[in-house]
């Protein structure tokens, strides 16, 4: 499943996910945004793995924020924007 979201005033966020047994799997977030450190992108993917596919964008954003903590800097993207891309992926026609 594939979803995209262009954050207003920000960059494009892309979410590629699969759903198995009602949970997100094979989560891959990408886009033209920047994170410091670069390894933070892996933290996002891992944090979303196993999350309920039917969870709200608010839930996914909270999961992302909790995984990143306060030491990660996000440029052109936010946890909420990533959550919207994930939601669009899950809701996209197969």
What pTM did the predictor assign?
Answer: 0.93
Check which CATH number belongs to the domain holding 19 and give it: 3.30.390.50
pLDDT, position 94: 60
Find tokens 């909270």 and name the residue. Answer: 62
Domain that holds residue 58: 2-91
Mean pLDDT of 62-82: 93
Q: Please write the tens of the pLDDT for every residue from 39-56.
A: 899 999 999 999 999 999
Q: Please write the tens of the pLDDT for every residue from 1-40.
A: 999 999 888 899 999 999 999 999 999 999 999 999 988 9
Cis preceding-peptide flag for 71 (omega within 30 of 0): no
Contact in structure between 14 and 30 (CB atoms under 8 Å): yes
Q: How many domains does the chain have?
A: 1
């Amino acid at each position: 499943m594939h979803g995209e979201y262009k954050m207003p005033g920000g960059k494009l966020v892309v979410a590629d996910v699969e759903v198995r047994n009602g949970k997100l799997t094979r989560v891959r977030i990408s886009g033209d945004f920047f994170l410091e450190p670069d390894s933070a992108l892996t933290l996002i993917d891992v944090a979303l793995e196993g999350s309920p596919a039917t969870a709200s964008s608010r839930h996914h954003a909270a999961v992302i924020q909790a995984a990143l903590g306060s030491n990660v800097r996000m440029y052109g993207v936010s946890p909420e924007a990533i959550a919207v891309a994930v939601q669009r992926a899950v809701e996209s026609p197969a």
